[in-house]
Amino acid sequence: MLKKLIIGNWKMNPKSEKEALAIVRSLITSTKNSKNAEIVICPPFPFFSCIQKLKLKKIKIGAQDMSEESEGAHTGEVSLRMIHSFGVKTIIIGHSERRAGGDTNMRVNKKISLALKSKTIPVLCIGESSRDTTGFYLGFIKDQLHECLAGVPKSQIKDLVIAYEPLWAIGKNALREATPEEFIEMRIFIRRVLSDMYDTKVAHTIPVLYGGSVHPENADAFLTTGEADGLLVGRDSIIPKKFAAIVACVH
């Protein structure tokens, strides 16, 4: 049985190193009996060092983003090499909040290509801002996949993870929550596009996660009914009790 990938995206939280360590220590205890979940937490870059000193075993550290440039005069950016220096091999790329801040599909493509060439696991986030009755949103997802994976060879794509995050179901202004059935539709469509781009075998080896206002009350449904290969968790990932409850949904 393949393990389900549960990723916690801490975003710009918490406020201090002390709080970050408290969260991780709590998670170490509350998730120690989890056998079928691969757990990755993605804290802000400044907390990498202090968390790494805890010598984590079951929990891995991931990054929330990376620069599309390898090195150079890029103020405020963090390179892949810097991230690797902490032993971090999983990186969220193309998150909706980064896209809102200016990350185009072209920039995401450069990051994905750089990560895959360096034996890193990029978690490519895709998702539409709204749904329509004509299926236009499917074309939007198809274009995201084509543009974000342009030039990525079949030999490297096996290390990719995709996280589907419908923007209309995320955050305080969400129209409503997405359903496991809607995720099934999208998971099938994503794999169909990947099959056309590569082949069916490759398409079915790429994990497809769900990420859109994931919480303890809906996690099990997306993992079972929705058959998600894992979850990308936002705000509840910094609340140890809730994140542990989500991890516990992996049976």
Q: Is 84 a catalytic residue?
A: no
**Active-site hit among 95, 128, 147, 204:** 95
CB 38 within 8 A of CB 60: yes
DSSP, res 170: S
Rounded percentage of the chain residues whose pLDDT exceeds 90 = 93
The model's pLDDT over 138-161, given as tens digits with 9 standing for 90+, comes to 999 999 999 999 999 999 999 999
d(CA 94, CA 11): 13
DSSP, res 102: T
Instruction: Name the nearest CA neighbour of 198 among 170, 171, 159.
Output: 159
Please, what is the Cα angle at 20 between 246 and 249, to 5 degrees? 5
Rounded percentage of the chain residues whose pLDDT exceeds 70 = 100
Res. 175 pLDDT band, cuts 50 70 90:
confident
The model's pLDDT over 46-97, given as tens digits with 9 standing for 90+, comes to 999 999 999 899 999 999 999 999 999 999 999 999 999 999 999 999 999 9
**Active-site hit among 165, 177, 204, 215:** 165
Q: Is 165 a catalytic residue?
A: yes
Tell me the residue range of the domain where 85 lies.
4-247
Res. 190 pLDDT band, cuts 50 70 90:
very high
pTM over 0.95: yes
Backbone angles phi, psi at 37, to 5 degrees: -115, 135
Res. 251 pLDDT band, cuts 50 70 90:
confident
Instruction: Name the nearest CA neighbour of 210 among 228, 197, 227.
Output: 228
Instruction: Name the nearest CA neighbour of 109 among 143, 65, 68, 138.
Output: 68
Residues 6+ apart with CB under 8 A from 164: 126, 127, 183, 186, 187, 190, 208, 209, 210, 211, 212
Question: In this structure, what CATH number is given to the domain that contains residue 43?
Answer: 3.20.20.70
* Number of structural domains found in the chain: 1
